[in-house]
Amino acid sequence: MVALAQTDVETLFHRLDQATLLLQQQLSTSYLDALIEVGDDLIDGGQVRVEEGRPDVTATAELTKLYQGIQPLLVDAETTRRGLQLALLKDIETDAIDANHQLTPDSIGFLVTYLANQLMRQTQMSVLDPAVGTGNLLTTVINQLSQVDDVQIQGFGVDNDDSMLAMANVMSTLQHRDIQLFHQDALDPLVMPKMDLVVSDLPVGYYPRDDQATHFKTAAQQGHSYVHHLLLEQSINQLVAGGWGIFLVPSQLFTSNEAPSLVSWIQSQAHLQGILNLPSELFQNKQAQKAILLLQKHGGSAKQAGQVLLGEFPSLKDAQAVADFTNQIDEWVVTNVSQ
């Protein structure tokens, strides 16, 4: 029997995993914290940092050898991202990760980037993810948009979880992506320029800071406000005139008790250009199903599409159906979107 050769992504993951498990044992820490430490060592050129005799001499030598095997695999941004992503997927199994901080699957990330590619026709642009997490979705989008010749992209990410943000720094730095990261509540004032594009897999649930929520028009009249409503408002406020927001939201977004006020706010600030349900096969149950929401901020050359883009992506296992569906989206862009 002939053994199948490993891809660079698989090789990278296995070496990252070996290094992470070794450091995890040496430092008595979580898998994620050990992975961040590995990433920081690699950013420092493969220099193993030793504090209070840990890792010990034997482990340091083994890590140095592993890093020497990892460095040549970090030359391509997508290989790097996907190798790190596999390590993060293992972390989800190893550590108890909050549902709002779990990775956006590549299948969904690529649909978001496909839409961004169709809607954005600029040689210079800024992109924000206000719930950046580990940076996987943001770097997926930037990597794909950067494949177009001479496109320069400045990324921005916000998260209030220092571990997630540290991982996002590893993700962006090892991929050589120009991304500024901000450790803060994304609903506090954002000190950054206005954005051309916002992409985000929005956390879903109630926002605990009722005092802060009152600054937003999408705040609930009584009780806690929905954090995904508030983040939609914050994101649109942060866009340039005519800028786009591409958001992953609950597919039942417009059926809650707070939906009328959300719709009213959207109509006052943005054009609701589309909402596309993602394939139900990607979710464990109907309640967990998500959709891609397309909003374009008022102003500039933006105008309401003659026909709002509605529908549901077909099964991603049916290549012909997906191709037919994306052709329809391409035609909608040509007909309805001002470039």
Q: Which residues make beta-bridge pairs with 158?
A: 182
Q: What are the tens digits of pLDDT across the range 96-105?
A: 666 555 677 7
Q: What's the whole-model pTM score?
A: 0.93
Q: Where along the chain do the CATH 3.40.50.150 domains lie? A: 101-336
CATH 1.10.150.470, the chain: domain bounds: 8-94
Residue 170: per-residue pLDDT:
98
Task: Tell me the C-alpha to C-alpha distance, in Å, between residue 218 and each of 46, 249, 259.
Answer: 47, 15, 9
Distance CA 167, CA 133 (A): 8
**Residue positions counted in the chain:** 339
CA distance 249 to 131: 12
Pairing of strands 179-183, 195-201: unpaired
Q: Nearest Cα to 187, choosing from 150, 147, 226, 240?
A: 226
Residue 324 has pLDDT above 80, yes or no: yes
CB 170 within 8 A of CB 195: no
- pLDDT of res. 101: 57
What pLDDT score was predicted for residue 106?
83
Q: Which two tokens stand for residue 206?
A: 């109630």
- State the chain's mean pLDDT as an integer: 91
Distance CA 225, CA 322 (A): 36
| Closest C-alpha among 250, 245, 224, 221 to residue 233 | 245
Spatial CB neighbours of 89, under 8 Å, sequence gap ≥ 6: 103
Query: Is 294:246 a contact under the CB 8 Å cutoff?
Result: yes
Backbone phi, psi, residue 220, to 5°: -70, 150
241: number of Cβ within 10 Å: 12
pLDDT at residue 3, as a whole number: 42
Banded pLDDT at 4 (limits 50, 70, 90): very low
The string of DSSP codes covering 208-235 is S-HHHHTTSTTS-SSSPEEHHHHHHHHH
Say yes or no: domain 8-94 is CATH 1.10.150.470.
yes
Half-sphere exposure (Cβ direction) of 141: Cα atoms closer than 13 Å: 36
Q: CA 214 from chain center: how many Å?
A: 27
In this structure, which topology does domain 101-336 adopt according to CATH?
Rossmann fold (3.40.50)
* Among 304, 233, 311, CA closest to 271: 304
Please state, in angstroms and rounded to a whole number, the distance separating the CA atoms of residues 98 and 249.
17
pLDDT digits (tens, 9 = 90+) for 224-279: 999 999 999 999 999 999 999 999 999 999 988 889 999 999 999 999 999 999 98
The C-alpha atoms of residue 231 and residue 248 are separated, in whole angstroms, by 12
Closest residue by Cα to residue 24 from 63, 82, 68, 71: 63
Distances in Å between the Cα of 196 and the Cα atoms of 199, 229, 315 are: 10, 20, 31
Say yes or no to pLDDT of 61 above 80.
yes
